[in-house]
């Protein structure tokens, strides 16, 4: 057994899988470097980059000042200058300080320049709630980014995707944002030999015939738990992991809905104007006559995320709510 | 400088004739800055610009035909009709665009310089912005980052005293912009931006320092726009006498007088220069008029890079 296959078969945490992906990319391509707040000496706010500074040095594992706009924009500029930066933003809420650069530069440069300049960088950030971090560290704003033409939005929900999506994202000539749900870092799984996953399609994580549950990132586990409970009630659910939030893989969603005739979308974002709204609209546009019931949705309560555990859990999509939503559409 | 002046004067006429639309921000009065700075740069250097960038693009060597065609929104424009006046781009001259978000170009310049540093290239990234940008957070984040990481950026602050309609002393607690830049740990000083030779001298010194040290450098170029902020601006916030005072220091007249007194130019020579420039501008208009528009079926090109053959 070669060392490579030994690594591939060992169980990893999601955190370790992201770290392995970064390490592997940096070994493969000298243009790749990591930059962000506390990615070096501290080891990453969530421990993702622990040990990488020692291996690659301070030039390629680059601690930045607290200046999201400058270092995200510098990543865009470095990408224009031929590098392949991985920029880490601690949380999606902080990314708003760099939204100008992401929207007005990364997403527009290729178009505004008539195809002359692109921004082939990867921006990774933590998203989501469930850790009692309250209203400035817990939101799910990936749906906002998925609104923007010019960006590609990835949401790895499994250890295999955490390991496999980074390399193709770095090979992609477009700006790619990767959203890592904060509750997943300690999840374990097999990277199953993945050092390169596709970054264009959704995946069916469980097959069923009565209903399609569409989930992504942190809500995939919620959907799968709900599907287990529904199975006990003799309701068989197809569970789709979107994986890619922009461009959406309509074909996989519609193929499933045409088989099950019912759909529930689980989205940790707020319901109004959300990704779940977009998916429900597309199902209505493309598979209306295959539906036996209105599309159901389970989203976060429309409040800033509260601190207290019982309030936060009440605000987030829970398996019980998914079960209820499914029962409502299969009734 | 004459090319910039005559080009923009023609653009005003074309705007009134509705051949050019959108925003049109004129550089008239500030030409000495672009001409002086670009004379000090090497072809391999990178330029990051603003939305008042016709002068930067022309002085950098972006072909006038391609700029005029872009003003017309034609397929032969330097941004294939996607950018317009505020977003001129040209890979051949490393002209990384006009940015219309005040301060938004500074992080790109820092990043371009970072890439140069990491790739072992010794070039300068020249980053233009106005006095208005100094009030933006991105300005301070970027000067700090460039100084902290010793990145080869030449920061060029075109201080024309007004952020759109707001005079600098109504927006900046300390109007000595070079002094503020210096606090980030870089050489910084102010230059007479109405004198092309002074600008060129200062820019040559600054670019040489950036090349030699690999560290950033800041020039505040004190200048003035003779025209309103844009074609929509009735210019109610400036005293006519103030504008007239600055026009006494017209950078083109200043340079022409000096060249004539130094024997480098005579009146017939100046007339010939003017005629040549008029002809170039006229030819660019003719070419733009005749150029094809981008087919609408190309609308969604350049959103994603698939199959666009980007390097």
Quick check: A80 and B91 CB within 8 A? no
User: Which of A157, A189, A221 marks a domain boundary?
Assistant: A189
In a domain, A194, yes or no: no
| CATH assignment of the domain containing A234 | 3.40.50.920
In a domain, A179, yes or no: yes
Mean pLDDT over A181-185 rounds to 97
In a domain, A155, yes or no: yes
Check residue A9 and give its pLDDT.
59
In a domain, A196, yes or no: no
Cβ-Cβ contacts under 8 Å, A80 against chain B: 96, 108, 111-112, 115
Quick check: A117 and B89 CB within 8 A? yes
Are residues A72 and A160 part of one domain?
A: yes
Q: How far apart are CA A210 and CA A330, in angstroms?
A: 7
Are residues A22 and A106 part of one domain?
A: yes
**Beta-carbon neighbour count of residue B248 at 10 Å?**
9
Cβ-Cβ contacts under 8 Å, A151 against chain B: none
Cα separations (Å) of A29 from A35, A60, A83, A112, B168? 16, 11, 10, 28, 47
Q: How far apart are CA B33 and CA A55, in angstroms?
A: 46
Check residue B267 and give its pLDDT.
95
> What are A41-81's pLDDT values in tens digits?
999 999 999 999 999 999 999 999 999 999 999 999 999 99
User: Which of A159, A189, A219 marks a domain boundary?
Assistant: A189
**Beta-carbon neighbour count of residue A254 at 10 Å?**
18
Are residues A220 and A156 part of one domain?
A: no
- Average of per-residue pLDDT values in chain B: 96
> What are B18-46's pLDDT values in tens digits?
999 999 999 999 999 999 999 999 999 99
Q: Which pair of tokens denotes residue B158?
A: 């075109």
Q: How far apart are CA A151 and CA B147, in angstroms?
A: 30
Quick check: A116 and B89 CB within 8 A? yes
In a domain, A198, yes or no: no
In a domain, A215, yes or no: yes
- Name the residue facing B80 among A109, A115, A120 (closest C-beta): A115
Cβ-Cβ contacts under 8 Å, A74 against chain B: 107-108, 110-111, 114, 142, 145
| CATH assignment of the domain containing A23 | 3.40.50.970
User: Which of A189, A221, A241 marks a domain boundary?
Assistant: A189
Domain with A273, as residue range(s), is 203-330
Q: How far apart are CA B269 and CA A20, in angstroms?
A: 68
> What are B221-243's pLDDT values in tens digits?
999 999 999 988 999 999 999 99
Is A280 within 8 Å of A295 (Cβ atoms)? yes
Residue B152 has pLDDT above 60, yes or no: yes
Q: How far apart are CA B266 and CA B247, in angstroms?
A: 22
Q: How far apart are CA A224 and CA A240, in angstroms?
A: 10
Is A220 within 8 Å of A45 (Cβ atoms)? no
Cβ-Cβ contacts under 8 Å, B110 against chain A: 70, 73-74, 77
Are residues A109 and A30 part of one domain?
A: yes
Are residues A125 and A168 part of one domain?
A: yes
Quick check: B80 and A59 CB within 8 A? no
Are residues A177 and A210 part of one domain?
A: no
Are residues A210 and A159 part of one domain?
A: no
| Residue A288 DSSP label | G
| Residue A138 DSSP label | -
Task: Report, in angstroms and rounded to the nearest whole number, the Rg of chain A calculated over CA atoms.
Answer: 20
Are residues A138 and A228 part of one domain?
A: no
Shortest CA gap A43–chain B (Å): 20
- Name the residue facing A113 among B89, B119, B137 (closest C-beta): B89
* Preceding peptide of A247 cis, ω within 30°: yes
Q: How far apart are CA A207 and CA A227, in angstroms?
A: 10
Quick check: A114 and B109 CB within 8 A? no
Residue B309 has pLDDT above 80, yes or no: no
Inter-chain contacts counted by CB atoms under 8 A, chains A and B: 157
* Chain A contact probe: residue of B108, B129, B185, B301 with most A CBs at under 10 A: B108
Shortest CA gap B151–chain A (Å): 11
Is A215 within 8 Å of A266 (Cβ atoms)? yes
Are residues A176 and A239 part of one domain?
A: no
Quick check: B111 and A114 CB within 8 A? no
Cβ-Cβ contacts under 8 Å, A76 against chain B: 107-108, 111
Compute CA B226 distance to the chain's CA centroid, rounded to the nearest angstrom: 15
Written in H, E and C, the secondary structure of chain B is CHHHHHHHHHHHHHHHCCCCCCCCCCCCCCHHHHHHHHHCCCCCCEEEECCCCHHHHHHHCCCHHHHHHHHCCCCCCCCCCCCCCCCCCEHHHCEEEECCCCCCHHHHHHHHHHHHHHHCCCCCEEEEEEHHHHHCHHHHHHHHHHHHCCCCEEEEEEECCEECCEEHHHCCCCCCHHHHHHCCCCEEEEEECCCHHHHHHHHHHHHHHHHHHCCCEEEEEECCCCCCCCCCCCCCCCCHHHHHHHHCCCHHHHHHHHHHHCCCCCHHHHHHHHHHHHHHHHHHHHHHHHCCCCCHHHCCCCCCCCCCCCC
Residue B311 has pLDDT above 50, yes or no: no
Is A12 within 8 Å of A191 (Cβ atoms)? yes
> What are A282-297's pLDDT values in tens digits?
999 999 999 999 999 9
**Beta-carbon neighbour count of residue B130 at 10 Å?**
25
Shortest CA gap B309–chain A (Å): 9
Neighbouring residues of A256: CB distance < 8 A, sequence distance ≥ 6 = A204, A212, A238, A240, A263
Are residues A146 and A254 part of one domain?
A: no
* Assembly ipTM: 0.95
Cα separations (Å) of B291 from A111, B77, B226? 20, 9, 31
> Which ranges in chain A belong to alpha helices (H)?
3-9, 14-28, 52-56, 68-80, 92-95, 99, 109-112, 142-145, 159-164, 166-171, 219-232, 250-260, 275-287, 309-315, 319-330
Quick check: A174 and B308 CB within 8 A? no
Check residue A191 and give its pLDDT.
87
> What are B91-113's pLDDT values in tens digits?
999 999 999 999 999 999 999 99
In a domain, A164, yes or no: yes
Shortest CA gap A11–chain B (Å): 35
In a domain, A104, yes or no: yes
Are residues A158 and A44 part of one domain?
A: yes
In 3D space, the residue among B110, B109, B3, B92 whose CA is nearest the CA of residue B49 turns out to be B109
Quick check: A100 and B101 CB within 8 A? yes
Are residues A182 and A35 part of one domain?
A: yes
Measured between CA atoms, the residue of chain B closest to residue A66 is B141
> What are A240-287's pLDDT values in tens digits?
999 999 999 999 999 999 999 999 999 999 999 999 999 999 999 999
**Domains of chain B, each with CATH number or no CATH:** 2-292 (3.40.50.970)
Give the active site residues of A: 68, 137
For residue A70, give the 3-state DSSP assignment.
helix
Check residue B148 and give its pLDDT.
98
The total of structural domains in chain A comes to: 2
- Burial group, residue B211, by CB count within 10 angstroms (0-12, 13-18, 19+): middle
Shortest CA gap B160–chain A (Å): 25
Is A217 within 8 Å of A181 (Cβ atoms)? yes
Cβ-Cβ contacts under 8 Å, B108 against chain A: 73-74, 76-77, 80, 105
Q: How far apart are CA B29 and CA B161, in angstroms?
A: 13
Residue listed under structure tokens 């809500």: A219
Question: What residues in chain A have their Cβ under 8 A from chain B's Cβ atoms?
Answer: 31, 33, 59, 64-65, 67, 69-83, 85, 100-101, 104-105, 109-118, 120, 149-150, 152, 172-174
Q: How far apart are CA B256 and CA B278, in angstroms?
A: 17
């Amino acid at each position: 057994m070669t060392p490579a296959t030994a690594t591939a078969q060992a169980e990893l945490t999601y955190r370790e899988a992201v770290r392995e992906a970064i390490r592997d990319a940096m070994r493969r391509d000298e243009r790749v470097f990591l930059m962000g707040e506390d990615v070096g000496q501290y080891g990453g706010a969530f421990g993702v980059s622990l040990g990488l500074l020692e291996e690659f040095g301070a030039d390629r594992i680059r601690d930045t000042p607290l200046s999201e706009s400058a270092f995200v924009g510098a990543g865009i500029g470095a990408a224009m200058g031929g590098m392949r930066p991985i920029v880490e933003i601690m949380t999606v809420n902080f990314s708003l300080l760099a939204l100008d650069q992401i929207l007005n530069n990364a997403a527009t440069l290729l178009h505004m320049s008539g195809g002359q300049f692109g921004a082939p960088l990867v921006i990774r950030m933590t998203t989501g709630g469930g850790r009692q971090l309250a209203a400035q560290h817990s939101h799910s704003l990936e749906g906002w980014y998925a609104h923007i033409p010019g960006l590609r939005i990835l949401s790895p929900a499994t250890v295999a995707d955490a390991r496999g999506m980074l390399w193709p994202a770095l090979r992609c000539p477009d700006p790619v944002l990767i959203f890592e749900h904060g509750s997943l870092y300690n999840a374990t799984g097999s990277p199953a030999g993945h050092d390169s996953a596709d970054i264009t399609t959704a995946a069916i994580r469980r097959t069923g015939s009565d209903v399609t549950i569409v989930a992504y990132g942190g809500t995939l586990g919620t959907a799968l738990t709900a599907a287990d409970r529904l199975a006990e009630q003799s309701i068989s659910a197809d569970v789709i992991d979107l994986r890619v939030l922009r461009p959406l893989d309509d074909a996989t969603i519609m193929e499933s809905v045409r088989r099950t005739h019912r759909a529930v979308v689980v989205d940790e974002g707020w319901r109004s104007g959300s990704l779940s709204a977009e998916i429900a609209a597309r199902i209505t546009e493309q598979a209306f006559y295959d539906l036996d019931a209105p599309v159901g949705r389970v989203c976060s309560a429309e409040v800033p995320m509260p601190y207290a555990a019982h309030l936060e859990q009440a605000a987030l999509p829970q398996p019980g709510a998914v079960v209820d939503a499914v029962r409502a559409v299969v009734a | 400088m004459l090319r910039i002046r005559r080009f923009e004067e023609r653009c005003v006429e074309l705007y009134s004739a509705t051949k050019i639309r959108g925003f049109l921000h004129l550089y008239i009065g500030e030409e000495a800055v672009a001409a002086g700075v670009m004379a000090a740069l090497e072809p391999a250097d990178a330029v990051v610009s603003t939305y008042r960038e016709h002068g930067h693009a022309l002085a950098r060597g972006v072909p006038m035909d391609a700029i005029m065609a872009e003003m017309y929104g034609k397929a032969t424009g330097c941004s294939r009709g996607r950018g317009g006046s505020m977003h001129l781009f040209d890979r051949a001259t490393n002209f990384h665009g006009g940015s219309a978000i005040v301060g938004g170009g500074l992080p790109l310049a820092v990043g371009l310089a970072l890439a140069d540093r990491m790739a072992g290239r010794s070039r300068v990234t020249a980053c233009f912005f106005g006095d208005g940008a100094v009030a933006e957070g991105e300005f301070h984040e970027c000067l700090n980052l460039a100084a902290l990481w010793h990145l080869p950026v030449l920061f060029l602050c075109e201080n024309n005293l007004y952020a759109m309609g707001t005079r600098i002393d109504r927006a900046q607690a300390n109007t000595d912009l070079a002094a503020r830049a210096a606090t980030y740990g870089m050489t910084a000083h102010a230059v007479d931006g109405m004198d092309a030779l002074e600008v060129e001298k200062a820019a040559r010194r600054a670019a040489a320092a950036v090349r030699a040290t690999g560290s950033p450098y800041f020039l505040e170029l004190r200048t003035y726009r003779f025209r309103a902020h844009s074609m929509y601006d009735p210019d109610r916030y400036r005293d006519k006498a103030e504008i007239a005072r600055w026009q006494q220091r017209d950078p083109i007249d200043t340079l022409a007088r000096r060249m004539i007194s130094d024997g480098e130019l005579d009146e017939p020579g100046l007339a010939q220069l003017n005629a040549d420039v008029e002809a170039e501008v006229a030819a660019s208009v003719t070419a733009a008029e005749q150029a094809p528009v981008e087919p609408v079926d190309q609308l969604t090109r350049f959103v994603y890079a698939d199959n666009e053959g980007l390097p």
